[in-house]
Chain A
Amino acid sequence: MEFTTKKAPIVNNSSRSYKRSLLLHFTLIFVTLVSLGLQFYVNSLENAFNALVMVVVSVIVAMTLELFYALGEKNVRKFEQYKGFVEPINIALIIALLLPAATPIFVLILATVIAIYPAKLVYGGSGYYIFNPALVGVLFAQISFKEALTTAVGDNLTPLMMLKETMYGTTHNFDLLQLLTGNYIGLAIGTTCALLLIVSLVYLCISKVVDLKIVFTFLLSMALMSLIIGWFNGYWINFMIVNLLTGFTLFAATFLISDSVTSPTSRETKILYAVIIALMTMAVRVLGNQVEGIVFAILLGNMLTPWMNRTVKRSSKKSFLTTIAVALVIVILAGVGLGLLSQNMIYPELTNIMEVLS
């Protein structure tokens, strides 16, 4: 018999990091399968088949890259179990789900390579990356192959684009049932069916995989801001519903912003992080040309995370409540500001003031 002093017989609570990523993994696979079925129903068989090929190719590329990198590092042992493949597969699935169904395969392969190698492995692999790898890949594809992706979507207007047009006079009708079931052609494979995403979000919240603080702050501030902007534009609650159910909003809340590695670590900063992302998303949606601004918003949030982590020194109930109050004020002010800007109510005033001054 020998005595060891390696680790105390500490009884931990039952949650495990690996179990969490596995639950996320299964949810993602479930969402992927349902989305592929939906593509077949809404789009065409051809598109559904293309989407299936995309998913498979993306997963294979991600797995091979990780394996080759591990071979180079002489660290292949973790791939003896399925455990090692969970994270690359998750990233690959998210990339495939965030691109349109008719994306050329070479664009997808490039996006996956960018996501796995420069955005993840270069930073030190799982647990160390700064930007959400999947989003870096998607952004790369969106910016570099804009034309290929636009032709892939075709002339179909996504609900958000229609919403944008209604702000400038055109009328469109939205069917709530269609939005909930995803019965329309969207900008991406996996982000259309709101019902499916809500179910997975609730499941992930119950199993404590995603952080409730981030997700709920994000959704609440999105709702509040779009409600205010909608009120300024005379739409009232419909504007909010469309904003929450479409775009990548629910997909981002479920799989992207709550990724614990790229989000801050203390209660206060988590609230601020979610609010910043919500604010940026709404700003890009209302003011910018790129309607799906959430990708930029999340990457900006990721970028601010190390800095936010450095600013906090301690955490207490009082500072937590203060942060919530401050966040609420910011959200309301931003909503009012964006609402005024969207109605062109600020520019004329400003020009008037400038004229008077000069």
Chain B
Amino acid sequence: MSTPAAAPASRIAASLAGKYLTFVLGDESYGIAVLKIREIIRLPDITAVPQMPAHIRGVINLRGKIIPVVDLRARFGLPHAEATDRTCVIVMQVTTAAGASVPMGLVVDDVEEVINLAADDIQETPDFGSQVATDYLLGMAKIKGVVKTLLDFDRVVTEIPVLDTSHLSTSR
């Protein structure tokens, strides 16, 4: 608090405090703010959309609405895993770069629980150097000795096109 550098950090942490849904992806646990979540559904039939980047699994029919689904494993470069009973889709309301709010699904291995994070539990994302992009990480939370990564989903999903268009244009 006393140093100018510490002040903004704690403010960030304070603004991040709140309820988070934690979910599992591989061996790691992540958290997303519950306010952004619309519902959690079992893995439905996903219609693949051709010529999409690998992490976009396709579209699903959510009670008459057609919603794109992002495979978080692919997005985070984790190996593909077969779907299990626990695999599910978290339907979130995502704000796009253009400012529109659109529903979007995330395929995750399992959902855990909703936790209440106080400002004290949250730490700013450490600097991993150039190897890990940290733009879409809000911070890290330590709960019961486990570190959970808090994700900024607006950026996780909407920044993808920017990354992938370049990738696409070179490959095609």
A and B bind: no
